[in-house]
Copies of this chain bind each other. A is one copy, B any other.
C-alpha cells in the first residue's frame, strides 16, 4: 500500500498538499494538482480509510442495525435482499460502505424481553467506529429502543418506524393509501362484506394499513364493522387463525384484506381448509408483494411495496442528513396494486 508521504516525495510537495488534492482540490494550483493526481493514479494510491477516519473523526461507513426479534426466531424481513441492494448502490455512488453491526448474543440473552437487545451498545459502537450514520430496520414493536437512537444525535434513518429528531427521519410505504386502494378494488368487484386481518398492535405500518382499510371502506360507501377486524401479527399462522375466526362469523365476509402477504397465504389455506374456493367464494388481497405471492395458487393480488426504493430512499435521506446536518422530511413511498388471481375478475 502506497502512502500519501510517498506520493508527496515523488512530486516534491508536502503531504499536506497531497491531502488537499483529495479533499479540497480548489485550494491547490492546477499544475500541482494535476501532477499529484497523475502520480497517484499511476501508483494506484488512495488514502487509507482508517487513518482518514481517525483524523476526520468520521468514516465513510454507515451502520446497519438489524436485530432480529428474539421471541420470533423464524421471522424474516420480507425483502431484505432488495433493500440491501438499493442501499448498497445508493451508498456506493457516494463512496460509502455499509457496516452490518452485530451485538453479541450475550446482550440479547441478558435482556430476554426486549426485541432490540441493546441500543446503547449500538450507539457506542457507532461512535467507536466513527460511523457517519445509521440505518435502522424495524425489528419488532419495541419503539423505546428507537428513541435512544433519535436522542443520540447520530444521523439516523429508520425503516417503517416513525422516528423524529434533529438528526432522525424515516422512510415507509404509503401504507394507508395502499390499503385503501386494495379495499376499493374489492369494492369495485362487487364485494360489500370486506374484512381485514391486521398486523400487530403498536406497529406503525400495521396501524396505517388498518386506517387505510377503513378509509377505503368509507370511500366505497361501505360501513365499517367491528367484527370484521381481527388482529394478526404479520405471520402466516395468524392469517390462518384470523381467517378461520372471520369465517365463523354469523355473516361471514366475502373478501378479506390481509395486512401482509404471509397472513394472506394463511388466509388462503384457511379458506381451502373450510372448503371455500378462492376467488369464487372468497377474495383475498395481501400486502408486500413478496416472492411467494406470485407462486401460491391462486396467485395473490397484493399491494406491492417499492422494495429497492426503500434502500435508495434511506440512503438518500441519510446522506443528505450527513452533508447538511438537518433531517429531511419522512419519505412515504408509493405502493402499487398488483392484480393477480385471488380476487377474480370484474364481474
Which residues from chain A sit less than 8 Å from chain B, CB to CB?
1, 44, 46-51, 53-54, 59, 61, 64, 66, 68, 76-77, 80-81, 84-85, 88-89, 91-93, 95-105, 124-125, 127-130, 265, 291-292, 295-297
Report Cα–Cα, A169/B44, bound state, in Å: 28
A88 near B104 (CB under 8 angstroms)?
no
A93 near B99 (CB under 8 angstroms)?
no
B102 near A89 (CB under 8 angstroms)?
yes
A180 to chain B, nearest CB (A): 28
A54 near B61 (CB under 8 angstroms)?
no
Residues in B with CB closer than 8 Å to A124 are 44, 46
Choose one: B1, B85, B95, B101; the contact of A127 (CB below 8 Å): B1
Given contacts A101-B97, A104-B93, A265-B295, contact A50 B48 (CB under 8 A): no
Residue of B nearest to A103 (CB): B92
A128 near B97 (CB under 8 angstroms)?
no
Report Cα–Cα, A101/B60, bound state, in Å: 11
Report Cα–Cα, A291/B296, bound state, in Å: 12
Report Cα–Cα, A1/B68, bound state, in Å: 28
A81 near B76 (CB under 8 angstroms)?
yes
Choose one: B48, B81, B127; the contact of A54 (CB below 8 Å): B48
Residue of B nearest to A82 (CB): B76
Report Cα–Cα, A265/B91, bound state, in Å: 35
Residues in B with CB closer than 8 Å to A48 are 54, 128, 130
Choose one: B46, B51, B96, B102; the contact of A97 (CB below 8 Å): B102
Given contacts A50-B59, A81-B81, contact A100 B99 (CB under 8 A): yes
A91 near B102 (CB under 8 angstroms)?
yes
Residues in B with CB closer than 8 Å to A49 are 128-130
30 A-B residue pairs with CB within 8 Å: A44-B124, A47-B128, A48-B130, A49-B128, A49-B130, A50-B50, A50-B59, A50-B130, A54-B54, A76-B81, A76-B291, A77-B81, A80-B81, A81-B81, A84-B100, A88-B100, A91-B102, A97-B100, A97-B101, A97-B102, A97-B125, A98-B100, A98-B102, A291-B291, A292-B292, A295-B295, A295-B296, A296-B296, A296-B297, A297-B297
